[in-house]
Amino acid sequence: MSEERRTPSIWQFLVSTGVVVFILIYGMITINTGDPLWFQKKFTEQPVTITVYCRGEAVEVPPGSQEFREITELFNDAISGPKRWDSLSLSDATYNDYHTHPRMVVLELRYAVPVRIHSNVKYFSNVEYLIMPLEGRHAETNAVFGRNQGYPIAGSFHIESRQPLVDYVRTHGLCDVSMDK
């Protein structure tokens, strides 16, 4: 009894090649980022405190309040959207200015445990504080900085727009912030 030899199929070859290429690309990015969920862009973490530093004055947003929930939602939407990583980092001097300078308005979110912002870069993998300048230094770049254990982390993410947060902070009386043009 003779066995019939199967003829090679171009479709089997293409599917096999596609699967291998997909696994290689996914594996290389996962190894590079240290994050197997790098493709998941939705940020859903909940901060334990939110502080608006308004021209040198700390304005605490009460946890559990409607403002707290709405700021969290606006921030999470902004960081979940398109963003790019940049080497612009937050110095200790700038961080101090964000808290004390009369021309700075900054939104600072603190998390109970370090959080990760999933992306195709390794940075922002263990962050306790996320800091977004709304007015003043680096605000015009739509930057989001991170800190962990009292130290700034390397680089920053730049979101599409901080406008919804600026509008919210202004209209809810947390700070009279204006947009840098």
Domain that holds residue 151: 49-171
Q: Are residues 29 and 108 in the same domain?
A: no
CB 60 within 8 A of CB 49: yes
CB 136 within 8 A of CB 106: yes
The answer to whether position 5 is within a domain reads no
Q: 176 phi and psi, to 5 degrees?
A: -85, 80
Q: Are residues 139 and 163 in the same domain?
A: yes
Q: Are residues 121 and 61 in the same domain?
A: yes
Q: What is the largest CA-CA distance in the chain?
A: 91
Q: Are residues 26 and 56 in the same domain?
A: no
Q: Determine the 3-state secondary structure of 56 from DSSP.
A: coil
The answer to whether position 1 is within a domain reads no
Q: Are residues 58 and 83 in the same domain?
A: yes
Looking at the 3D structure of the chain, how many domains does it have?
A: 2
Question: Dihedral sign, CA of 29, 30, 35, 37?
Answer: positive
Residues of the chain with pLDDT under 70: 1-3, 33, 37-38, 179-181
The answer to whether position 97 is within a domain reads yes
The answer to whether position 32 is within a domain reads yes
Q: Are residues 77 and 149 in the same domain?
A: yes
Q: Are residues 17 and 83 in the same domain?
A: no
Q: Are residues 29 and 114 in the same domain?
A: no
Residue 123: what pLDDT?
73
Q: Are residues 25 and 75 in the same domain?
A: no
The answer to whether position 102 is within a domain reads yes
The answer to whether position 180 is within a domain reads no
The Cα-based distances of 166 to 5, 100, 137, 142, 147 in angstroms read 69, 19, 15, 11, 22
Q: Are residues 55 and 142 in the same domain?
A: yes
Q: Are residues 92 and 135 in the same domain?
A: yes
Query: What pTM was estimated for this model as a whole?
Result: 0.82
Q: How far apart are CA 69 and CA 36, in angstroms?
A: 29
Amino acid identity at 43? F
Spatial CA neighbour of 64 closest among 43, 49, 79, 81: 49
Can you read off the two tokens belonging to residue 57?
Answer: 């004055």
The answer to whether position 115 is within a domain reads yes
Q: Are residues 153 and 125 in the same domain?
A: yes
Spatial CA neighbour of 38 closest among 116, 137, 141: 116
